[in-house]
Amino acid sequence: MSKKVAVITRGNSDILKVLKDNKVAMDIFKPGSLPKEGLGEYSSFILLGGDQEEPLFLHPGERIFVEQELKKGKKVFAEYCGSIGSVYFENPSTTRFHRLVFSANKAPIKGIDHGDILDDQCGTRIRPHKEFCSTEEPVLRYMNFHSHKAYKDIDKSEFDSSDRALWFEKENLLICGFRLASFVQGRYAPIKKIHALVGYILSWVVEEAITMDRVKPVYSIKGPEKMKALEGDKLKEAVEESTKAALNWLSSSKLIIDEGKGGIYEGYGTEIYPDGGQRFADLIRADCAGEAAMVNFFDYLYSGSKERAVIADNLTSFVYDTMQIKEEGPYKGMVRWSNQAFETCYQDDVARAINGHLLRCIITGERSYLEETKAALDFMIRTTGTDGTRIMRTDICSLSEERIKELSETPGNLASAHYNAYYLGTMLLYYKLTGEESYKEMAVKGLTTIMNTYPDTVREQSQTEEYCRLILPLSWLYWITREEEHKAWLYKVTEGLQQFKHSSGAYVEWDEGYKATMRNTKGDGECSLLAENGDMVVDLLYSNNWLPLAFIQAYYITGDELFKKLWEENVRFILGIQLISEDEKLNGAWARGFDVEYMEYFGSPADAGWGPWAMESGWTIGEIAAGLYMGLLEDKVKAVFNS
């Protein structure tokens, strides 16, 4: 008998391409087209169901052919197959908050260690009915927990036998209960470990070495190491290329609505499906609009693009003319959070909705929308406590005149950079434009409250986040007051942040004492990417995304080359991890979670809304690109901020 593999599948898949690339001797059959004389001429069998949403089921007559060969001892790999041998499965379910954990003791795979976590993103699995499957330890099991890259106590953990994901049902029958066939387009991670897994499986079933050399992932990065040598004009050219790619992402992803007149969509959620699709985050938010306006305007300042100027104007108008309440009354001036939470106001989000425009006014001398800015600040000030901090959010449904009075006459007790630092910074910018002392006084009061608690500020995601979010407002504080104490605060936080610095130029997540609020797990709510201090994970939604703009502003304001150096180091990291892809929804963007050991996008999916693959038009791409542009604009704007 010749050594030949029978592959039964309904269509193309990444695994099928690997087999073809390795020139495996095989015949490919669709269900219903198996030879009538049976399958006796084949040495092994691969059943691939993961190319489609519904599992593969063979017709009973063809099923008998496969089972006969299985009983002869021939090897069978059954992937996402609804029934094989004695095993059959539940209906398909999502793997959104589950992790694949390598738990085998008898199936060593080079490059994968016991307890390692692998992600099939927002995949699909079929759980075997436990009464009809093996009770042996599987190669991979599904678990629901918050951890970064390994589950250390895998052997001590409880195990539901139905949560097996990849296992040997018999010595010659290897079953995969999830859609592994689409491992490339589904962005399964970590890439090297997934490749090692697929290579192991296929080598086992075809009984020859399968290489993964020709597998091309959906995205690539240049890598921070390659960026480290960039200096002077070379660095400038790389930053120019990066900003252009980021702006192209905003355009090609069709996020900007009617040239900005209708605002901008939030971006993409973290959910990546096995077919390569990704959830479109279709909320229309004021903060994303303001941040996108900022980066489009900075591009206009740098390149002279009239198209970008129009988009910036339209997005700014959307913030002030559409999302702001104009009616007289207690809510006048409130900037709405989004088209979903239409009566909600987060002060941090409002700040980022309008900070870009205030910077525009400071740089150019414009005076537009200052009355509207005043109204937005006045509404929030009316609900700010006596300590200069504001509660995390206000909602019209519970914001009576009595409640407003209560909020203004008691401490806010929220010494949090996450919620209040940028809000207080906005008041400093407004003061710079108008000279109205009350706004400076409120900002000084609030930032003093926060710094009096430092380093134990109220944390949402991490200690790293709090430090990152303080640098820009503290830079503006020193710019406005020129007080040595305020300058000392800026240097103190900057120095404190350095303890989290990685050699790549990134700042990893850390949370001393695990005090951050967002430590929900298993999709119960919002959650930090950090599971345990020491995780080499970088957050570009809550932490590192603020740094390019913060460091360069600190440099302009202080004139200290230290901040220019920090900007360059961090920017080299940012340039090195920008996504390069033929997929328009990826190319030129940055996602939330990046692992600086794996050097790829990877992280815990526990956050219910914004996991490691979330890509925000404002918070991430808008803020990062704005910080890159601010560096490019040094010759035009540095003097403005050094006065």
- Per-residue pLDDT of 555-568, as tens digits, reads 999 999 999 999 99
Per-residue confidence (pLDDT) for residue 418, from 0 to 100: 98
Whether 281 shows a pLDDT value over 80: the answer reads yes
Q: What long-range pairs does 513-519 form, CB within 8 A, spacing at least 24?
A: 515/456, 515/459, 515/463, 516/459, 516/460, 516/461, 516/462, 516/463, 516/465, 517/458, 517/459, 517/460, 518/460, 518/461, 518/607, 519/146
Per-residue confidence (pLDDT) for residue 104, from 0 to 100: 87
* pLDDT tens per residue across span 369-419: 999 999 999 999 999 999 999 999 999 999 999 999 999 999 999 999 999
Contact status, residue 127 vs residue 162, Cβ threshold 8 Å? yes
CA–CA separation, 442 and 387 (whole Å): 9
Tokens of 381: 């000030």
Which of the four pLDDT bands, split at 50, 70 and 90, describes residue 2?
low
By residue count, the chain amounts to: 643
The residues facing 76 across adjacent strands are 45, 173
Per-residue confidence (pLDDT) for residue 522, from 0 to 100: 76
Residue type at 329 in one-letter notation = G
Lowest mean pLDDT among 153-167, 440-454, 472-486, 608-622: 153-167
Per-residue confidence (pLDDT) for residue 105, from 0 to 100: 78
pLDDT over 70 percentage in the chain: 100
Per-residue confidence (pLDDT) for residue 106, from 0 to 100: 75
Per-residue confidence (pLDDT) for residue 616, from 0 to 100: 98
Which of the four pLDDT bands, split at 50, 70 and 90, describes residue 538?
very high
Per-residue confidence (pLDDT) for residue 42, from 0 to 100: 96
Whether 23 shows a pLDDT value over 60: the answer reads yes
* Mean pLDDT, all residues of the chain: 96
> pTM of this prediction?
0.97
Residue for token pair 């953990």 = 157
Mean pLDDT of 520-526: 82
Contact status, residue 257 vs residue 265, Cβ threshold 8 Å? yes
Which of the four pLDDT bands, split at 50, 70 and 90, describes residue 459?
very high
| Phi (first) and psi of residue 282, to 5 degrees | -95, 15
Whether 107 shows a pLDDT value over 90: the answer reads no
CA–CA separation, 174 and 172 (whole Å): 7
